[in-house]
Structure 1
Amino acid sequence: MKKIRVAILGASGYTGIELIRLLLNHPLVEICELIANSNADQEIHELYDHLTNFNLPKLKKIDNSDFSKIDVVFGCLPHSTSQQIFKNILSDKNNSHLTIIDLSADFRYDNPANYQKWYDHPHLATELQKQAVYGLSEINRSKIKKARIVACPGCYPTSALLPLIPLLKNNLISANDIIIDSKSGVSGAGRNLKTSNLFCEINNSIKAYSIGKHRHIGEIEQELTKAKNHTVNIEFTPHLLPVNRGIISTIYCKTNDNITINDIKNCLSTTYDDEYFVKLVEHEIALHNVVGSNFSLIAVNQGNCSKSIIITCVIDNLCKGASGQAIQNMNIIFDLDEKLGLEINPLFP
């Protein structure tokens, strides 16, 4: 089979270099363009020594890129940046063949007004938004397969939606009083210099942030509402951990009448039994169970209060929560084995 020719926009950020790491293991992909305006004309190994041994293209500005011979463009740009750039790229008739897989939030919201509400920025490509498919691989596989633009989910939403969507769709839990408590490694904040992310600010500490107003609330509610076919509102609080990568989400919910914990487990087991990357387990789970991999582990426990169920889910925020899921979506679109490029074991210890 002819190799898939790939370009990465925003190649010098964390999700960009994670894509490079994973795609170097993909037997049917050729990395042809690495685009990073702020680091243009440098070799990628000048920024990241761990890529020294690989023959990769030099970083370039987007204005010097030719997409006419590219099959897939991965977008790893900051939010509110991708819309205009992809609008410009796709307006060129020579690029009409392109598949876009965007890792930012710019195409995740079905309704552009909701995007503006949560990101305080008007949507600049509403016509393209109509073509976008929400790229939660295991849930939206059939739609992804036909998509021209795939909007990869956020890292926190991935960890919450994988367990919650099947339970709401099958009417096993109440749509009210869902509480999601998530904790992430610092890489989730990106590579830009921020005082709050300095070593002395993060080390030996943990903090909650964006309480009651985090942007991923709207994204999670949108997808849960579609699953339930009824408005779902949640409480979501993210926390920053003094680790590089990984997310653990603890989800508190109530079962509906006459629903047992075994019903919950059976639903998740049935949903994901044939899935390679998502597994229901009976033991307690930790970040090191998945770090460096595209796996997601889910555990279900009975809560202390009546009808209370406590679900935990772990993913790697850069892999299943971003670049790994993006590659999984590419594999779906090109009718490839979804595991290609992603059969990487978690890093332990």
Structure 2
Amino acid sequence: MIKITIVGITGYSGFELFRLFLKHEKAQVVKVCATSHIGEPLHHIYPQIKECSEIMISSFDPSIIMQKSDVVFFATPAGVTNSLAIPFIEHDFPVIDLSGDFRLKNPRSYEKWYKKPSAQQEHLEKADYVLADVNTTAHQLISNPGCFATACLLPLIPLVKGDFIELDSIILDAKSGLSGAGKVLSESSHFVNVHDNMMMYKINQHQHLPEIVQELKKWNGKVEFIQFSTSLIPVNYGIFVSGYVKLKSGFSFDEVQQDVKDFYKDKKFVRIRSEAPKLSDVVGTNFCDIYLTYNQTTGIITIISVIDNLIKGAAGQAIQNFNHLFDIKEEMGLSHLARI
């Protein structure tokens, strides 16, 4: 069994990692770390696992983690991993980071969008940004993509790669369930402000915006910008992206649609749908469902992309990257179907 440590176990993504690994045939979580509840059984916080695990919450000690584990997952807030991960990076120990600390390759860009000190340049150069259905890694430090970025990049990559669309026409309207706002209570996540309501937040300021542009530029260097908005909707889980792009003259929509299908034909967790997907089709799963349709009058392709923000957008994709890193079947630990 491959031995796992999870740092940041008390957050949503940390516990989702733990929950998914309980069903993994080749991995075992042997250590969980937090800054609170140290010395307590994890089931004191999450009583639903009492019959499954007696694991205790530990303090963070890199030397002990490297002695007892084969890989460490960081499910910590932005601005935390870039310092905690240094001993592991220096020892070339496998790290999968779910925070944003190693996603942006330009330190100034990170500091602008995250409002925190960046990781050191030498450490950024050792990190691979790995969108699990598209990228591979050459390093032991994997930067797991952001939830919004995942839902936006998967439908857009084949479109910009094939140069099918006007690159200055990309508009993305992304809506997230409340768990995407994290576990710490704020005014915007208070029940009375979220229930039976909808609100935009971080308008033109969301930290996943430069991440999306950075990754699109790898597939088409002419991408300069996108229009990207984010909203909170009154559901617990899921991301629903509505995208709008203008088809270039000289291409047919049928050609574009076939290219997208071919791009993902061997990808187990990306489903190109023939009808518009609902959020409930993917909640509780590691799937990204994508649908494209075309308006002949306006020349606009409408994109719908849906994922579970905590699974495909965080813990599930991290396990997918773990499976790739250790040459395990990609779907191991991730064979979940959506609830009815």
TM above 0.5, yes or no, is yes
Structure 1 76/237 Cα, relative in aligned 2: closer, same or farther at 3 Å?
same
Structure-1 separation of matches of 2:295 and 2:54 = 50
**Do the aligned residues in 2 keep the contact of 1:71 with 1:97 (CA within 8 Å)?**
no
Amino acid of the structure 1 residue aligned with 2:189: N
1:150 equivalenced with 2:142 (yes/no)? yes
* Aligned match of 1:248: 240
**Do the aligned residues in 1 keep the contact of 2:270 with 2:290 (CA within 8 Å)?**
yes
* Aligned match of 1:116: 111
Deviations 1:121-142 (A, max 9, x none): 221332111011111011113x
Structure-1 separation of matches of 2:28 and 2:122 = 30
1:161 equivalenced with 2:153 (yes/no)? yes
* Aligned match of 1:128: 123
Question: What is the number of equivalent residue pairs in this alignment?
Answer: 339
* Aligned match of 2:40: 42
Amino acid of the structure 2 residue aligned with 1:82: T
1:221 equivalenced with 2:213 (yes/no)? yes
**Do the aligned residues in 1 keep the contact of 2:43 with 2:53 (CA within 8 Å)?**
no
Secondary structure of the corresponding residue to residue 309 of structure 1: strand
* Aligned match of 1:266: 258
Structure-1 separation of matches of 2:141 and 2:329 = 20
Structure-2 separation of matches of 1:196 and 1:115 = 24
Q: CA deviation at 1:97?
A: 4.9
Amino acid of the structure 1 residue aligned with 2:100: A
* Aligned match of 1:82: 81
Structure 1 171/137 Cα, relative in aligned 2: closer, same or farther at 3 Å?
same
Structure-2 separation of matches of 1:179 and 1:341 = 34
Q: CA deviation at 1:39?
A: 2.3
Q: CA deviation at 1:303?
A: 2.9
Amino acid of the structure 2 residue aligned with 1:247: I
Structure 1 304/181 Cα, relative in aligned 2: closer, same or farther at 3 Å?
farther
Q: CA deviation at 1:45?
A: 1.0
* Aligned match of 1:58: 56
* Aligned match of 1:10: 8
Structure-2 separation of matches of 1:297 and 1:66 = 37
Amino acid of the structure 1 residue aligned with 2:117: P
Structure-2 separation of matches of 1:113 and 1:148 = 24
Secondary structure of the corresponding residue to residue 312 of structure 1: strand
Deviations 1:124-176 (A, max 9, x none): 332111011111011113xx2x3211100000000000010111011111111
Amino acid of the structure 1 residue aligned with 2:166: S
User: Where in structure 2 are the equivalents of 1:323-334 lying within 5 Å?
Assistant: 323-334=315-326
Alignment gaps of 5+ in structure 2 = none
RMSD in angstroms over aligned alpha carbons? Answer: 1.3
1:179 equivalenced with 2:174 (yes/no)? no
**Do the aligned residues in 2 keep the contact of 1:87 with 1:125 (CA within 8 Å)?**
no
Amino acid of the structure 2 residue aligned with 1:27: E
Among 268, 293, 301, the alignment partner of 1:276 is 268
**Do the aligned residues in 2 keep the contact of 1:299 with 1:312 (CA within 8 Å)?**
yes
Structure-2 separation of matches of 1:172 and 1:90 = 39
Of stretches 67-76 and 6-15 in structure 1, the one that deviates more from structure 2 is 67-76
Q: CA deviation at 1:54?
A: 1.2
Identity %: 36
User: Where in structure 2 are the equivalents of 1:283-294 lying within 5 Å?
Assistant: 283-294=275-286
**Do the aligned residues in 1 keep the contact of 2:174 with 2:229 (CA within 8 Å)?**
yes
Amino acid of the structure 1 residue aligned with 2:35: N
Q: CA deviation at 1:233?
A: 0.3
Secondary structure of the corresponding residue to residue 176 of structure 1: helix
Among 98, 101, 106, the alignment partner of 2:93 is 98
Among 298, 306, 309, the alignment partner of 2:290 is 298
* Aligned match of 2:21: 23
Alignment gaps of 5+ in structure 1 = none
Of stretches 110-119 and 294-303 in structure 1, the one that deviates more from structure 2 is 110-119
**Do the aligned residues in 2 keep the contact of 1:178 with 1:251 (CA within 8 Å)?**
yes
Amino acid of the structure 1 residue aligned with 2:43: H
Q: CA deviation at 1:117?
A: 1.7
Q: CA deviation at 1:90?
A: 3.7
* Aligned match of 1:336: 328
Structure-2 separation of matches of 1:56 and 1:125 = 37
Structure-2 separation of matches of 1:286 and 1:122 = 38
Deviations 1:36-69 (A, max 9, x none): 1122112111111211111242001103843223
Q: CA deviation at 1:277?
A: 0.5
* Aligned match of 1:72: 71
Could you state the TM-score of these two structures normalised by the residue count of structure 2?
Answer: 0.97
**Do the aligned residues in 1 keep the contact of 2:273 with 2:289 (CA within 8 Å)?**
yes
Amino acid of the structure 1 residue aligned with 2:227: E
